[in-house]
Amino acid sequence: MTVNSAHKKLDRENPDIIIAGCWSPARRRFAEALKSLPKATQKNAKETVAYESVSRIAAIYHLDNKM
């Protein structure tokens, strides 16, 4: 079964589930943005969109690993 056919099967069997695809490219960009901050600014990084995004994607990964 290919990934595409698996997604179609999941969609038929679970119409309420939304296939979100791979979050790695988005996470990587946000992580790179955090790393590019000056050292002094990194201490306040928790207030940035990049930090919030990496945190939320980590939560998605955590839930996915439980499945």
Cα 62 to Cα 8, 10, 12, 46: the distances in Å are 24, 21, 25, 19
Tell whether pTM > 0.85: no
Domain ranges of the chain: 21-66
CA–CA separation, 4 and 9 (whole Å)? 9
More confident residue, 63 or 42: 63
Supply the pLDDT for residue 1: 55
pLDDT exceeds 60 at position 19: yes
